Every structure is written in structure tokens, then in C-alpha cells.
């Protein structure tokens, strides 16, 4: 009888944790959906990723020690779901190499504060789409969602110093792509054909 009471007590505690997690996660689902949308290009696949993220979060409700860290925790789960899905498909794009590298960065002149350049949303989205997934994720988590370096490190599961370099390289690469203009990507793809 005592054993059954203990099992019942644990089940009730798990249900309460899941209810609390669901309450905390609901307002963040829009952000998680947008993040998933950046990780994959297909809207339906992004929705599937969010659905699986919620299922995994509910299953792991007991592992969230600090409810204030739910946002980066959900982003990390979404990213891991994306990675797991790619691995399961054994996609050819599992290894992505950043075109160019540090050699390209020397020629980049970022706009001065007074003469800031404005780009169309489509241009920025096209430049972001050219980035490898890890670089794009680091940049978006930093600049769009405002996560600090430690949170990004937790989400991407990389050392803190790596976050700084990935964000810096991603920003520089986006600057290069924007400087080349909207047709640069299509011209580059056409040249290799």
C-alpha cells in the first residue's frame, strides 16, 4: 500500500510540473516557432519541430531546474530536434562549410554610425539563409532574440568563447553578402553550374 502511495505521489508531482511547464511555455511558442522557421525553410517542418519540442519539453519537465531559464531551454530542445531530424534523414547537408573564411573578413568595411545602410528584409533574409545553420543560429539567438552569450552557449552546446567567434563571423559574413548585393548568391550558384 505504501509503495502505491509513493508511486501515486510521484505521478501527481510529475503532472503538476508538466502543468507548470505548459503554463510557462505557452507564451514562448511564437518565438520557438520563429526560431524553428529560421532553422528550416519549410513551414510545415518548422511546425513539426515545435510540436516535437513541446512533447520533449513535457517529457523532460523535471529536468528544468530554473523556470527563469525556460526560454533558452526550449530553444535548445528545438535545435536538438532539428539536428535529430537531419541526422535521421541522413541528409547530404550535414556538413556545411562557411564559404570564404577569415581571409574574406579583411576587406569588409562596416558602415559608420552616421551613414548606416538600410537593407530590405528580403535581402537580410537571403543573407541569413546563406549562413551555415550553426552560424545562423548563433547570430539569430544573439541579435534577434537577445540571448546572452551564456544562454547561447547552453542552447548550441558550444563553449562560451566559440559563441563570441561564431556571432562575429556570422555578422561579418552577412555584411559581406549584403555588400555584394541581392544577386550575389544567385551569381555564385550560377558560376559553379
Kindly report the average pLDDT of the chain as a whole number.
77
pTM, full prediction: 0.55
Confidence check: pLDDT of 9 > 90: no
- The beta-carbon contacts of 158-164 under 8 Å, at least 24 apart in sequence, are 158/134, 163/138
- Across 66-70, 79-83, 109-113, the highest mean pLDDT is recorded for 79-83
For 100-154, the pLDDT digits (tens) are 444 444 454 544 544 445 777 788 888 888 999 889 999 999 988 889 999 999 9
How far apart (Å, rounded) are the C-alpha atoms in residues 86 and 40?
10
Q: Which residue has the higher pLDDT, 85 or 13?
A: 85
DSSP 143: I
Predicted local distance difference test score (pLDDT) of residue 10? 65
Instruction: For the chain, state the CA radius of gyration.
Output: 20
Q: Which domains does the chain have, with CATH numbers?
A: 2-93 (1.10.1740.10), 96-192 (1.10.10.10)
For residue 5, is it left (φ>0), alpha (ψ between -120 and 50) or beta?
A: alpha
Task: Identify whether the C-beta of residue 39 lies closer than 8 Å to the C-beta of residue 56.
Answer: no
Confidence check: pLDDT of 81 > 90: yes
How far apart (Å, rounded) are the C-alpha atoms in residues 171 and 138?
10
For 30-60, the pLDDT digits (tens) are 999 999 999 888 899 999 999 999 999 988 8
Any idea which residue has 563571423 for its cell?
A: 169
Task: Identify whether the C-beta of residue 140 lies closer than 8 Å to the C-beta of residue 125.
Answer: no
Confidence check: pLDDT of 175 > 50: yes
Distance (Å) of CA 184 to CA 19, 27, 102, 179, 188 = 49, 38, 19, 9, 6
Return the C-alpha cell found at 189.
550558384
Q: How far apart are the first and last CA of the chain?
A: 73
CB atoms within 10 A of CB 109: 7
Please give the share of the chain, as a percent, with pLDDT higher than 90: 27
Helical ranges in the chain per DSSP H: 2-25, 29-39, 43-59, 70-89, 102-105, 121-130, 133-139, 149-156, 160-180, 184-192
Amino acid at each position: 500500500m505504501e509503495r502505491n502511495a509513493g508511486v501515486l505521489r510521484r505521478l501527481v508531482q510529475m503532472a503538476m510540473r508538466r502543468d507548470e511547464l505548459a503554463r510557462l511555455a505557452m507564451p514562448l511558442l511564437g518565438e520557438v516557432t520563429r526560431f524553428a522557421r529560421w532553422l528550416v525553410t519549410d513551414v510545415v517542418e518548422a511546425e513539426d519541430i515545435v510540436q516535437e519540442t513541446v512533447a520533449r519539453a513535457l517529457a523532460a519537465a523535471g529536468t528544468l531546474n530554473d523556470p527563469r531559464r525556460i526560454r533558452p531551454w526550449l530553444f535548445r530542445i528545438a535545435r536538438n530536434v532539428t539536428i535529430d531530424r537531419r541526422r535521421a534523414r541522413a541528409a547530404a547537408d550535414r556538413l556545411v562549410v562557411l564559404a570564404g573564411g577569415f581571409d574574406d573578413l579583411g576587406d569588409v568595411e562596416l558602415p559608420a554610425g552616421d551613414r548606416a545602410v538600410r537593407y530590405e528584409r528580403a535581402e537580410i533574409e537571403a543573407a541569413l539563409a546563406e549562413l551555415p545553420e550553426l552560424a545562423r543560429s548563433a547570430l539569430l539567438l544573439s541579435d534577434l532574440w537577445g540571448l546572452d552569450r551564456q544562454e547561447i552557449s547552453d542552447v548550441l552546446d558550444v563553449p562560451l568563447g566559440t559563441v563570441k567567434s561564431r556571432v562575429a563571423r556570422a555578422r561579418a559574413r552577412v555584411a559581406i553578402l549584403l555588400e555584394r548585393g541581392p544577386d550575389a548568391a544567385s551569381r555564385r550558384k550560377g558560376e559553379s553550374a
